[in-house]
Amino acid sequence: MNQKRVLSGIRANGRLHLGNYLGAVKGMLSLQDNPDYETFYMVADLHSINVPYEPLGFRQAVREVVLDYLAAGLDPEKSTIFIQSEVPEHVELSYLFSTVITVARMQHLPTFKEKVKAYPENVNMALLYYPVLMAADILAYKAGLVPVGIDQEPHLEIAREVAQKMNDRYGLALPEPVRFATPGEYVPSLTGAGKMAKSVEGSAILLTDSLEDIKGRLAKLPTDSGKGGSVPTEGGVSNLFKFVELFLGEGRVNELRKQYMNEGVRYGEVKSEVAEVIYKELKPMQEMRAELEKDTNKVDKIITEGAEKARKVASETLQEVKQAMGLV
Residue closer to ligand TRP (CB basis): 146 or 310? 146
Q: Does 16 bind ligand TRP (CB under 6 A)?
A: no
Residue closer to ligand TRP (CB basis): 25 or 70? 25
Q: Does 8 bind ligand TRP (CB under 6 A)?
A: yes
Output the CA angle 29-139-98, nearest 5 degrees: 135
CB atoms within 10 A of CB 53: 13
Which of 25, 145, 148, 270: binder of ligand TRP (CB under 6 A)? 148
Helix (H, G, I), strand (E, B) or coil at 39: strand
Which residues are part of the catalytic machinery? 115, 195, 198
Q: Put residue 102 in one of left, alpha, beta given phi > 0 → left and psi -120 to 50 → alpha.
A: beta
Closest separation in Å from C-beta 138 to ligand TRP: 5
Q: Does 138 bind ligand TRP (CB under 6 A)?
A: yes
Interface size with ligand TRP, residues (CB under 6 A): 14
Q: Does 198 bind ligand TRP (CB under 6 A)?
A: no
Helix (H, G, I), strand (E, B) or coil at 119: coil
Residue 219 contacts by C-beta under 8 Å, 6 or more apart in sequence? 271
x/- map, 251-280, ligand TRP, by CB under 6 A: ------------------------------
Torsion over CA: 246, 248, 250, 255 (sign): negative
Closest separation in Å from C-beta 237 to ligand TRP: 28
Alpha helices in 103-235 (DSSP H): 103-107, 110-118, 125-139, 153-170, 211-219
Residue closer to ligand TRP (CB basis): 47 or 271? 47
- The binding site for ligand TRP (CB under 6 A) comprises 7-11, 44, 47, 134, 137-138, 146, 148, 152, 155
